[in-house]
Amino acid sequence: MARLIGGIGSSHVPAIGNALEQGLQADPYWKPFFDGYKPVWSWMEEKKPDVAILVYNDHGLNFFLDTMPTFAIGAAAEYQNADEGWGLKPLDPFQGDPEFSWHLIDSLVHDEFDVTMCQEMLVDHGFTVPMSLMWPKQEARDQVKVIPLCVNVVQYPFPTAGRCLKLGKAIGKAVASFDKDLDVAILGTGGLSHQLDGERAGHTNREFDMEFLEKLKAEPEWLLKYSNYELAEIVGPQGVEMIMWLIMRGALGNNIRELSRNYHIPISNTAAGVILFENDAV
Amino acid sequence: MKSLADTKPIPGTIIFDGDQAIKGYQLNKMCFSFNKAENRDAFKADEDAYCVKYGLTDEQRAAVKKRDVLALLNLGGNIYYLAKLTGMFGLNMQDIGAQQAGVSLEEFKAKLLAAGETKNG
């Protein structure tokens, strides 16, 4: 059976992609951010997951506002990155795992999660930045198959935090019932607090982010007491992306250890976070 | 929307809800087209003709002409789509952040750096 060996929460802003492209890891602006990924790199190097499930949101590359799925899962053998219009250089294609995708879809739909299934799906920086962050070298990225899970956090109403946590639990169940000898990691991306639009652009909220990170392991339900509208006020309309971390957290179950955590303001207009959990149950 | 009915407005913030999505549909559709280089070239060749082709309102066309991000947001633009438009003018997310906040780029960056140094940024 497939084993969910761990989960990572990570930011995904395009500026990180630029920094990676330009090799700015040691630059004073970037160092406190990239240093936070060292434990993740060591963990990936040691564990070498076969498959990653990557929870992210599209920012107007694959999905336009004509058709906006709440949850969409890739079921392709390969995922292409493409021009997003403002200059980030597209990365090489990513290898999928259609058999595993269809197992996930089958399991989730029978668990009452009505997901959108995508046999073709362009992936944008929300997906490629976390891939580059987890596996900075192309050779390492080529060793892992990846399944994109795209969440609507662009067009209100978004799925609730509670729904995200439940979806995560259903994903955990789906992984555990896949009859293949595979090590799987799940990545929840986006956030943490940030606001890109309006006169309040540049808003961050350290106190709330820190509490979110603190509660994520033992009490992820803590976030559920806020509606997405309330979260928009507290962490900024784009900070609400942190609900995608709950999908990762829900998938892991409760027998987990936190191996590392880092938090840094600012990366571009955002507060950036990274957290690494290992699953003790497998 | 009913889920937003009893909410108080968030200062300096526009929630991209159904009303905004309706208002900005053509504007965002135009911006979505800028994922393709040939469409960016066509826009640059004749900005207003491109806006007309996508059915933008007079107000939206004027706001595009002025590169006025706050006005475009109010007229239904979504920030991720507007980024594709402003990217063509050489403005990144920090440039348009500063523009919306009504401060210089240096002040905008300094505010973010300061948030990194305080307990309650």
State the CATH number of the domain containing residue B47. Answer: 1.10.700.10
Backbone torsions φ then ψ of A94, nearest 5 degrees: -110, 145
What is the rounded average pLDDT of the residues A176-204?
Answer: 98
Percent of all residues in chain A with a pLDDT value above 70, rounded to a whole number = 100
Which of A188, A186, A184 has the alpha carbon at shortest distance from A49? A184
Residues of chain A with C-beta less than 8 angstroms from the C-beta of B50 = none
Say whether both B81 and B28 belong to one domain: yes
Domain total in chain B? 2
**Residues of the domain holding B65:** 16-90
DSSP reduced 3-state for A144:
coil
Say whether both B72 and B113 belong to one domain: no
Inter-chain residue contact B112 with A198, CB threshold 8 Å: no
Q: Are strands A145-151 and A51-56 parallel, antiparallel or unpaired?
A: parallel
Which of B89, B85, B90 has the alpha carbon at shortest distance from B50? B85
Say whether both B83 and B121 belong to one domain: no
| Alpha carbon distance, N-terminus to C-terminus of chain A | 11
User: What contacts A85, CB < 8 A, 6 or more positions away?
Assistant: B31, B34, B35, B40, B83, B84, B87, B88
Domain total in chain A? 1
Q: Are A82 and A105 in contact (CB under 8 A)?
A: no
Could you report the per-residue pLDDT of B81-90, keeping only the tens digit for each?
Answer: 999 999 999 9
Residue A84's pLDDT is: 96
**Dihedral in degrees, nearest 10, Cα atoms A77, A83, A87, A90:** 20
Name the residue facing A206 among B3, B113, B119 (closest C-beta).
Answer: B119
Residue A70's pLDDT is: 98
Say whether both B115 and B83 belong to one domain: no
The type of residue at A53 is I
User: Which residue has tokens 């292409």?
Assistant: A80
What is the rounded average pLDDT of the residues B5-30?
Answer: 96
Say whether both B77 and B20 belong to one domain: yes
Instruction: Say yes or no: A25 contacts chain B, CB-CB below 8 A.
Output: no
CA atoms of B13 and B74, how far apart (whole Å): 10
Q: Are A126 and A34 in contact (CB under 8 A)?
A: no
Percent of all residues in chain B with a pLDDT value above 70, rounded to a whole number = 98
Backbone torsions φ then ψ of A119, nearest 5 degrees: -85, -15
Residue B121's pLDDT is: 41
How far, CA to CA in Å, does A237 sit from each of A132, A186, A199, B46? 25, 24, 12, 33
Residues of A belonging to the active site: 125, 194
Could you report the per-residue pLDDT of A217-228, keeping only the tens digit for each?
Answer: 999 999 999 999
Residues of chain B with C-beta less than 8 angstroms from the C-beta of A263 = none
Q: Which residue of chain B has the CA closest to A157?
A: B17
CA atoms of A269 and A272, how far apart (whole Å): 9
Q: A197, A226, A270: best mutation site toward chain B, by most B Cβ within 10 Å?
A: A197
Domain-embedded: residue B1? no
What is the rounded average pLDDT of the residues A79-91?
Answer: 94
Could you report the per-residue pLDDT of A12-32, keeping only the tens digit for each?
Answer: 999 999 999 899 999 999 999
Which of A13, A270, A199, A65 has the alpha carbon at shortest distance from B68? A199
What is the rounded average pLDDT of the residues A79-106?
Answer: 96
Say whether both B32 and B48 belong to one domain: yes
Could you report the per-residue pLDDT of A225-253, keeping only the tens digit for each?
Answer: 999 999 999 999 999 999 999 999 999 99
CA atoms of A249 and A188, how far apart (whole Å): 8
Residue A282's pLDDT is: 83
Q: Which residue of chain B has the CA closest to A58?
A: B80
Backbone torsions φ then ψ of A274, nearest 5 degrees: -145, 140
Say whether both B119 and B78 belong to one domain: no
Percent of all residues in chain A with a pLDDT value above 90, rounded to a whole number = 97
CA B61 to chain A, closest CA, distance in angstroms equals 19
Q: Which residue of chain A has the CA closest to B7?
A: A229
Could you report the per-residue pLDDT of B52-83, keeping only the tens digit for each?
Answer: 999 999 999 999 999 999 999 999 999 999 99
CB-side exposure of A111: number of CA atoms within 13 Å? 20
CA atoms of A187 and A26, how far apart (whole Å): 25
User: Which residue has tokens 């995904």?
Assistant: A12
CB-side exposure of A242: number of CA atoms within 13 Å? 37
Residues of chain B with C-beta less than 8 angstroms from the C-beta of A123 = none
Could you report the per-residue pLDDT of A1-14, keeping only the tens digit for each?
Answer: 999 999 999 999 99
**Residues of the domain holding A55:** 3-279
Q: What confidence category does residue B119 fall into, taking pLDDT thresholds of 50, 70 and 90?
A: low
Instruction: Say yes or no: B3 contacts chain A, CB-CB below 8 A.
Output: yes
Q: Are A154 and B18 in contact (CB under 8 A)?
A: no
State the CATH number of the domain containing residue A102. Answer: 3.40.830.10
Q: What confidence category does residue B120 fall into, taking pLDDT thresholds of 50, 70 and 90?
A: very low
| Alpha carbon distance, N-terminus to C-terminus of chain B | 32
B78 CB-contact burial (10 Å; exposed 0-12 / middle 13-18 / buried 19+): buried
Could you report the per-residue pLDDT of B28-45, keeping only the tens digit for each?
Answer: 999 999 999 999 999 999
Say whether both B27 and B77 belong to one domain: yes
Q: How many contiguous H segments (helices) and E segments (strands) does chain B have? A: 9, 0
A1 CB-contact burial (10 Å; exposed 0-12 / middle 13-18 / buried 19+): exposed
Inter-chain residue contact A265 with B115, CB threshold 8 Å: yes
Domain-embedded: residue B4? no
Say whether both B54 and B31 belong to one domain: yes
How big is the CA angle at B93 (ends A60 and A137), to the nearest 5 degrees? 70
- What average pLDDT does the structure give for chain A? 97
Q: Are strands A94-95 and A71-74 parallel, antiparallel or unpaired?
A: unpaired
Inter-chain residue contact A87 with B87, CB threshold 8 Å: yes
pTM: 0.97
A17 CB-contact burial (10 Å; exposed 0-12 / middle 13-18 / buried 19+): buried
Could you report the per-residue pLDDT of A175-185, keeping only the tens digit for each?
Answer: 999 999 999 99
What is the rounded average pLDDT of the residues A197-217?
Answer: 98
